[in-house]
Structure 1
Amino acid sequence: MSPRDGQRAIARTLLDRHGETYAAQSGIRVGNTPQPLYQLLVLSCLLSARIRASVAVASARALFDAGMRTPRRMADATWQQRVDALGEGGYRRYDERTSTQLGDGAALLLATYGGDLRRMREAADGDLGALRGALQGLPGLGPAGSAIFLREVQGVWTEFAPFLDAKAVQGAERLGLPGESGKLARLVGTDEMAAFASGLVRAALDRSVVDDVLEGSRA
């Protein structure tokens, strides 16, 4: 097997075993419509805190189950309702601060973009730096949160693909894959980039993922 074939085998094994996006885990079917885009934004905010991804996913589900699926519903919910939903998902360490950030962020999104993240995309006009800056202008969504959003949305906002941030590249290097996004993108299909990025992040966060993928790719 050539080195390139070996890299493709690793990438395929990663996709097959650990390639579920965090959005899919949270029950979000990402598409270019306002509600799933907003739900992805909420998930990105939750994932960006120093907390287990499983807790962030459970807390996003709890918020959505409580009806807070749109900026208007999030803004109209009381601070305590948001706290309670976050607590139900296990997001207790940051629940009070995050409740405030989600409420303020929803209000800002409504005031600036009519609650529609597609307008933010249009304003960025294909400029990744402009989009990251706009995302980071929302409360609670710093560099880590904007990177998570872009990793997950690249399948529908294709002008920003391939998007592989430092955490995804770290996972690639642990797997013995190239540390450059262009080379990594050539290992999978263009429609698989979001899932590939999620798998790479899991490899960066969990050594057992690396071991599982390397062992599986040799089988």
Structure 2
Amino acid sequence: MDDTLSEEQKRTARAVLEREGRGFAEEIGLGRTNNPASLFGLLVASVVVAPRGESSGPARAAHEVTNRWHTVADLAAASEQDVAKELGAAVEGFDRDDDHDDSASGAASTLVALASALQETWGGDLRTLRDEAGRDPARERALLTELPGVDDAVADVFFREVQVLWEEVSPFADGRALRAAAALGLGDTAADLARYGSDAEKVGRLAGALARIDVEGSHDEVRRG
């Protein structure tokens, strides 16, 4: 940690990591490996959790999908009904009304469309997208958000998780992580978070933990250590 940090800031950062030291991707069993299946799993999970928060329901729903359909080709070939059934296993994460934008059916349609578009455009490999972007985060974001279901909020979650593998993205923290960081006195930028551990894995882990704290509203528990 940066020597200019106060002891209180160091203590708080340690408390954050002790409480929420695993990001949602790790918690649901997604490995962080720079291969097509792992990267796609991170993107699918980001699509599922970004609009719903990283609480147990959406995280479990993401696990159900990535655990059954491991590759882009697998999910592109899946029926929307089967995907909706898997998503519906996490009832609290999804509305059961098929006409609702946040329903399991709507999410399933989005995920199958995402897989199909990624297969068609990038051969199912997000590393190709990265190379096409010249490893420029702004261009990577622009290409990602052209895919079905991927908006800036989804790209934020994906970047937060993938920065461990794509070093050009780090340091990165999404809005949820930065809200919690500011509330806990840890700073208000991704560069501030890098002071607590300069390598991408440490920044990603801290940012992921802070995002979970923001979703859960567990700031007081962290303050109490």
**TM-score of the superposition, structure 2-length normalised?**
0.89
Tell me what 1:5 maps to. 7
Please tell me whether residue 117 in structure 1 is matched to residue 118 in structure 2.
no
Tell me what 1:69 maps to. 70
Distance 1:112 1:100 in 2: 18
Q: Give the Å deviation of 1:189.
A: 4.2
> Is the 8 Å Cα contact of residues 8 and 188 (structure 1) preserved in structure 2?
no
Tell me what 2:222 maps to. 213
Distance 1:52 1:115 in 2: 25
Amino acid in structure 1 at the alignment position of 2:80 = W
What SS does structure 1 have at the residue aligned with 2:168? helix
Aligned length in residues? 214
Amino acid in structure 2 at the alignment position of 1:163 = F
> Is the 8 Å Cα contact of residues 172 and 179 (structure 1) preserved in structure 2?
yes
Q: Report the identity percentage.
A: 31
Q: Give the Å deviation of 1:77.
A: 0.8
Q: Deviation per CA, 1:4-46: give whole Å up to 9, x if none.
A: 2321221122112212111011110111011111111110000
Extract structure 1 runs of 4+ deviating beyond 4 A.
Answer: none
> Is the 8 Å Cα contact of residues 48 and 141 (structure 1) preserved in structure 2?
no
Q: Give the Å deviation of 1:200.
A: 1.2
Distance 1:140 1:83 in 2: 15
Tell me what 1:192 maps to. 202
Q: Give the Å deviation of 1:97.
A: 1.1
Q: 2:211 aligns with which of 201, 205, 215?
A: 201
Tell me what 1:45 maps to. 47
Query: 1:131-210 maps to which residues of 2 (within 5 A)?
Result: 131-190=140-199, 191-208=201-218, 210=219
Q: Deviation per CA, 1:58-102: give whole Å up to 9, x if none.
A: 11221233x311110001111111111111232432211111111
Q: Deviation per CA, 1:87-136: give whole Å up to 9, x if none.
A: 12324322111111111111110111100011111112222111111111
Q: CA RMSD in A?
A: 1.8
- Structure in which a larger fraction of residues adopt helix: 1
Tell me what 1:79 maps to. 80
> Is the 8 Å Cα contact of residues 45 and 140 (structure 1) preserved in structure 2?
yes
Indicate how the Cα distance of structure 1 residues 69 and 184 shifts in structure 2: closer, same or farther if over 3 A, else same: same
What SS does structure 1 have at the residue aligned with 2:26? helix
Q: Deviation per CA, 1:131-161: give whole Å up to 9, x if none.
A: 1111111111111111000000111111110
